[in-house]
Structure 1
Amino acid sequence: MSMVSRVPFQLSGRYAERNRWENLNGPVDSRVTGSQIVEDEGLADQWSDKVVLITGVSSGIGVETVRVLASTGATIFGTARNLDKAKEALGGSLLDSGRVKLLFMDQTDFSSVRACAAEFLKQTSKLNILINNAAVMNTPEGRTNDGFELQFGTNHLSHFLLFYLLKDILLETARSSPGFHSRIVSVSSAAHRYSPIPLGNVNFEGNYNGWLAYGSSKTANIYMTNQIERLYGAQGLHGFSVHPGAFMSPNLQKHSQEEMKAVLKDKRALAYLSSLGQACATTVYGAVSSELEGKGGFYLEGASVAVHPTPSDGDALEYGFGSWAFDDAKEKELWGLSKSWVGVE
């Protein structure tokens, strides 16, 4: 396949030109970083009145996202199952600044999610941005404490429950924050194109495949944010799903070593590979971009809005979203089932 995309240009927004396939050359190329987006928006030390909650901040792009958004002056709450690991990853300067606070949350356990939400609500009366970043990928078959397939339970259901427990504070913050609606940014993946959600068998009972289960969980991330936009967009609460791009993260990729070895031998994949600063950019774009104010329901990649589905013969790196990424009926069905599964009304 040519390094040049074979389909109409698929990204829209101020950074779209920088992310054309013709311009990609690995982590050293000109793709925008999260820090550059904050600078372009003029937000350095300007968000002392904002509160952000980010899940999964002990490794990978979660750590970089905290670092970047802390530069805005916002109060950042980060969750982790291993707080010592998170403290080491974030470093003393961030934690000592008073801008970053850590909360324990084990996303394989709904009771832990509930406890984390309760603790968060004790510490603050506002929430402008919720970033659903934590994830596991291509794991061996397993179950959460509540009996769900490990990836679906961790990547989707725990975030669904967290959102639902914090929905009221997000809506109230939107009402009291003229000029900046509340936002949900869910880190999905181009891997959502691996699989739709088998709603009759989300645990993949009897036919488990780690990559298909991961793809299903990432489709669920998209469906959740699409439905948030449908239900709450008019009330100033907007949802975005994000594909961060390819990056090296030993913790996330610990069950995918052979695949990562293959990436390092593939010239096309190496051109697409990004630094952590570039990889967090689409999350940061979803969280802070003035282009997105008052909007939602978008699938974001390349710090831009994806405007076309991936061609049917496209590879895993090609821009665009899967043919099932926007489905009103399935989004509503998943929403109703998720409420039942996590035990909320």
Structure 2
Amino acid sequence: MSLISKVPFQLSGRYAEHNKWENLNGPSDSRVTGKQIIEDEGLVDAWSDKVVFITGVSSGMGPETVRVMALTGATVFGTARNLEKAKKALGASLLDSGRVHLLFMDQTDLSSVRACAAEFRKQSPKLNVLINNAGLTSDPGNVHPEQRTQDGFELQFGTNHLSHFLLFHLLSDVLLASSTPSFHSRVINVSSSGHRYGPLRLDDLNFDSAGTYEGWAAYGSSKTANIYMANAIERRYGARGLHGLSLNPGSFVSPNLQQHCQESIDAAQEVDRMQKYFVSLEQACATSVYGAVSKDLEGKGGLYLEGASVAGPVPEDGDAVEYGYAMWAFDEGKEEQLWRVSERMIGVDQRQLEAQ
């Protein structure tokens, strides 16, 4: 008997059935794409009054997320450290449409995040959806285990979590002001099934202790931080019309991962079970799009999404590709502790910002 037949199905929602084992057949199978979700929601050219901000749009599923969200007619701002690479990935026709604007942001440098947020505020008085999509893994093989951001933080934690945490703090007032009774503002944090590699190390977020660094553990810690941030946003701002959601986009070949672990990716693609779980970029962006636009999620937050569906906890006997979140993914005490520590790290106090 296969493992999949022993565990309960972990997804719920209109697209959940497409994610069942018997329907999986690898990239471009019956699982929904981001474009299909926009069409299903009746949102083609329906969001001309909305603004969407997406980080990391030069590679991976970033460009496809921009393309799909632009179908709504919304004004879309995308960020990249390499603007020429982003322009090539997005294409001239999209950039010439007047719907998509590129902003420079190097998320390994918090001063760059601040500059980007300031530039966005000059260009737009509104923000309805913030999709924190950018992410990287430094080096799971530990060839260069001591990589740090320009501010001295462990590279994955600093880039994947702290830069997005700062960006949210700098734009939270715009998100709150843009929320309406018919559409509450949303923050979408792109996490990963990699959060299941291990719990957040709150006592050693930068892996400074001698001999503690391990690439995948640091990556998993940063991805758990993405979930904690979304949960804390919901608790702090949900009643005010601003909601936080986190998600796993699914397994796809990302250049940011591929450059460090091609051997692992090749090995995974040779395993039939893992092959069936892999998705195309068009499918990978679907969960971000679902979180950003779905009417089923209106007024909701503090949820972990997978397969354009709401996910439950991973079964105890689930394997590395099974749907679901780790037992440590929802922990109010640790979420609040991370929030306070992150504020100190980025040098802001949200209470002071809100009082301005």
Quickly name the TM-score band, shorter chain normalised: over 0.9
| Matched-pair contact (CA < 8 Å) for 1:18–1:32 | yes
Deviant stretches of 4+, over 3 Å: none
Local SS of the residue matching 2:259: coil
Q: CA deviation at 1:333?
A: 0.2
Amino acid at match of 1:259: S
- Note the 1:300-339 alignment, pairs <5 A: 300-307=305-312, 309-339=313-343
| Matched-pair contact (CA < 8 Å) for 2:250–2:306 | yes
Q: CA deviation at 1:138?
A: 4.5
Q: Could you say what the CA RMSD is over the residues aligned between the two structures, in angstroms? A: 1.0
Aligned match of 1:278 = 283
- Note the 1:99-110 alignment, pairs <5 A: 99-110=99-110
Aligned match of 1:202 = 205
Write the distance in 2 (CA, Å) between the matches of 1:232 and 1:7: 35
Amino acid at match of 1:311: P
The answer to whether the aligner puts 1:261 opposite 2:266 as a matched pair is yes
| Matched-pair contact (CA < 8 Å) for 1:3–1:22 | no
Amino acid at match of 1:208: Y
| Matched-pair contact (CA < 8 Å) for 1:225–1:241 | yes
**Could you state the TM-score of these two structures normalised by the residue count of structure 2?**
0.94
Q: CA deviation at 1:325?
A: 0.2
Local SS of the residue matching 1:79: strand
The answer to whether the aligner puts 1:98 opposite 2:102 as a matched pair is no
How big is each residue's C-alpha offset from its partner over 1:42-64, in whole Å with a ceiling of 9 and x where there is no partner? 00001000000000000010110
Local SS of the residue matching 2:255: coil
| Matched-pair contact (CA < 8 Å) for 1:52–1:130 | yes
| Matched-pair contact (CA < 8 Å) for 2:3–2:318 | no
> Can you give the 5+ residue segments of structure 1 that lack an aligned partner in the other structure?
none
Aligned match of 2:160 = 155
How big is each residue's C-alpha offset from its partner over 1:261-302, in whole Å with a ceiling of 9 and x where there is no partner? 111211011000110000000000000000000000000001
Q: CA deviation at 1:251?
A: 3.1
86-95 or 5-14, larger mean C-alpha shift: 5-14
Identity over aligned pairs, percent: 69
Write the distance in 1 (CA, Å) between the matches of 2:261 and 2:49: 41
Q: CA deviation at 1:4?
A: 3.1
Write the distance in 2 (CA, Å) between the matches of 1:250 and 1:149: 20
The answer to whether the aligner puts 1:48 opposite 2:48 as a matched pair is yes
How big is each residue's C-alpha offset from its partner over 1:12-69, in whole Å with a ceiling of 9 and x where there is no partner? 1110111112210001310000000000000000100000000000001011000000
| Matched-pair contact (CA < 8 Å) for 2:251–2:284 | yes
252-261 or 322-331, larger mean C-alpha shift: 252-261
| Matched-pair contact (CA < 8 Å) for 1:3–1:268 | no
> Can you give the 5+ residue segments of structure 2 that lack an aligned partner in the other structure?
350-356
Q: CA deviation at 1:5?
A: 4.4
| Matched-pair contact (CA < 8 Å) for 2:7–2:317 | no
**Could you state the TM-score of these two structures normalised by the residue count of structure 1?**
0.97
How big is each residue's C-alpha offset from its partner over 1:85-121, in whole Å with a ceiling of 9 and x where there is no partner? 0000000000000000000000001100000000000
| Matched-pair contact (CA < 8 Å) for 1:148–1:203 | yes
| Matched-pair contact (CA < 8 Å) for 2:65–2:289 | yes
Q: CA deviation at 1:319?
A: 0.6
Aligned match of 2:299 = 294
| Matched-pair contact (CA < 8 Å) for 1:70–1:76 | yes
Aligned match of 2:353 = none
Amino acid at match of 2:184: H
How big is each residue's C-alpha offset from its partner over 1:283-342, in whole Å with a ceiling of 9 and x where there is no partner? 0000000000000000000100002x1122321100110010000000000000000000
| Matched-pair contact (CA < 8 Å) for 1:138–1:213 | no
